[in-house]
């Protein structure tokens, strides 16, 4: 049996996030006011037989721990 | 001396790199799926979009079979030069400090940039003079060098920054105007600008050749 896992990868706090900034600037231009702290990351979905190994997968490949935080969510 | 120039699926600057190497020595293209470095004296990891740069720039290429051999070669002290995508690959492989983030403008930029040589007593810059300015083209979207504060302070304290963008030239937002950085041991170096595109007066500058010449000088002095 495999299990569906979601890995959320985000730029670490304080790291220049020009994608988030671009989205944050674009929203008010479309009339969506009151939006702040926009950050753009990545969602990785995977079916795994051994969910206990996902942390290791994140450290080695799915995220770069130097610049990104990751969060493992069971779908 | 003989350079080995890596070729991943998606690499696009390996031929220019090979031609640049051939101005100061011999050069062989090494395929990503092989593990044999064929006895070369130095490795160049060239620019392009290895494995489509899927996931993150350089993230997949670092696991290529040839990279196992390159990592061993580097750990044994062999000179390794990473250019643009090659720099990104070497950072992902943990051979160089830091990581490359998207340019602060989010735009692809292709232009000639002025770099300042910070240290000239190294494997990669011994054909330059300290403080010399090099005019070399850069072309990338993900070239903003970054390191967490503690690591950055260490890199500066060790004098690992060999090339900096000259004042006003840091178009990508790199921390400390870092254009090129070496490892602690000094035998691995990566930079975002493309020295292999600046080796012939026809294209405006021959300053890039100095980096290849430096490696050849180093190897020549150590055989």
Give A2-18 pLDDT, tens digit per residue.
Answer: 999 999 999 999 898 88
Task: Determine contact, residues B214/B119, Cβ cutoff 8 Å.
Answer: no
Q: How far apart are CA B204 and CA A64, in angstroms?
A: 37
Note down the domain range covering A49: 3-74
Chain centre distance of CA B6: 12
Q: Which two tokens stand for residue B121?
A: 């007593």
Q: CATH number of the domain at A10, please.
A: 3.30.1280.10
Q: Which of A19, A62, A64 sits opposite B106 (nearest CB)?
A: A19
Backbone angles phi and psi of B101, in degrees to 5: -105, 165
Q: With contacts defined as CB-CB under 8 Å, which chain A residues touch B57?
A: none
Check whether B223 has a pLDDT greater than 80: no
Q: Which of A19, A61, A66 sits opposite B102 (nearest CB)?
A: A19
Question: pTM higher than 0.90, yes or no?
Answer: yes
> Average pLDDT, whole number, for chain B?
97
Q: Report long-range pairs for A25-32 (Cβ below 8 Å, ≥24 apart).
A: none
Kindly report the CATH class assigned to B2-221: alpha beta
Q: What percent of chain B has pLDDT over 70?
A: 100
Name which of A22, A24, A39, A61 to mutate to probe chain B: the one with the most chain B Cβ atoms within 10 A of its Cβ: A61
Q: What's the mean pLDDT in B54-63?
A: 92
pLDDT of residue B193: 98
Regarding an ipTM greater than 0.85, the answer is no
Q: Which of B59, B104, B144 sits opposite A61 (nearest CB)?
A: B59
Q: What's the mean pLDDT in A68-74?
A: 95
Give B154-206 pLDDT, tens digit per residue.
Answer: 999 999 999 999 999 999 999 999 999 999 999 999 999 999 999 999 999 99
Residues of chain B whose beta carbon is less than 8 angstroms from a beta carbon of chain A are 55-56, 59, 63, 92, 98-99, 101-106, 144, 146-148, 151, 173
Q: How far apart are CA A36 and CA A51, in angstroms?
A: 34
Domain boundary assignment for chain B? 2-221
Based on the structure, what is the number of domains in chain A? Answer: 1
Residues of chain A whose beta carbon is less than 8 angstroms from a beta carbon of chain B are 15-16, 18-19, 22, 61-62, 64, 66-67
Give A23-69 pLDDT, tens digit per residue.
Answer: 999 999 999 999 999 999 999 999 999 999 999 999 999 999 999 99
Helix (H) or strand (E) holding B221: helix B209-221
Give B10-51 pLDDT, tens digit per residue.
Answer: 999 999 999 999 999 999 999 999 999 999 999 999 999 999
Q: Identify the CA nearest to B96 among candidates B188, B166, B29.
A: B188
pLDDT of residue A16: 84
């Amino acid at each position: 049996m495999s299990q569906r896992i979601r890995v959320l990868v985000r730029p670490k706090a304080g790291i220049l996030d020009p994608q988030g900034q671009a989205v944050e600037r674009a929203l008010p231009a479309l009339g969506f006011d009151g939006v702040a702290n926009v950050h753009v990351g990545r969602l990785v979905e995977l079916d795994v037989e051994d969910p206990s190994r996902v942390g290791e997968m994140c450290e080695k490949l799915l995220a770069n721990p130097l610049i990104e935080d990751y969060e493992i969510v069971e779908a | 001396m003989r350079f080995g120039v890596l070729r991943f699926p998606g690499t696009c600057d390996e031929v220019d790199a090979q031609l640049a190497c051939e101005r100061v020595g011999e050069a062989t293209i090494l395929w990503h799926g092989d593990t044999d470095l064929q006895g070369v004296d130095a490795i160049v990891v060239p620019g392009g979009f290895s494995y489509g740069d899927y996931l993150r720039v350089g993230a997949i290429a670092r696991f290529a079979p040839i990279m196992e051999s390159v990592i061993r070669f580097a750990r044994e002290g062999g000179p390794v030069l990473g250019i643009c995508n090659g720099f990104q690959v070497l950072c992902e492989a943990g051979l160089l400090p830091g990581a490359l983030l998207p340019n602060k403008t989010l735009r692809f930029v292709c232009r000639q940039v002025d770099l300042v040589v910070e240290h000239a007593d190294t494997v990669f810059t011994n054909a330059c003079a300290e403080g010399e300015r090099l005019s070399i083209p850069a072309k990338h979207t993900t070239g903003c060098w970054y390191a967490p504060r503690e690591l950055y302070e260490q890199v500066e304290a060790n004098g690992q920054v060999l090339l900096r963008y000259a004042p006003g030239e840091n178009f990508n937002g790199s921390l400390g105007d870092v254009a090129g950085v070496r490892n602690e041991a000094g035998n691995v170096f990566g930079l975002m600008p493309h020295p292999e595109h600046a080796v012939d007066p026809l294209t405006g500058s021959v300053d890039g050749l100095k980096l290849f010449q430096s490696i050849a000088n180093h190897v020549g002095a150590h055989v």
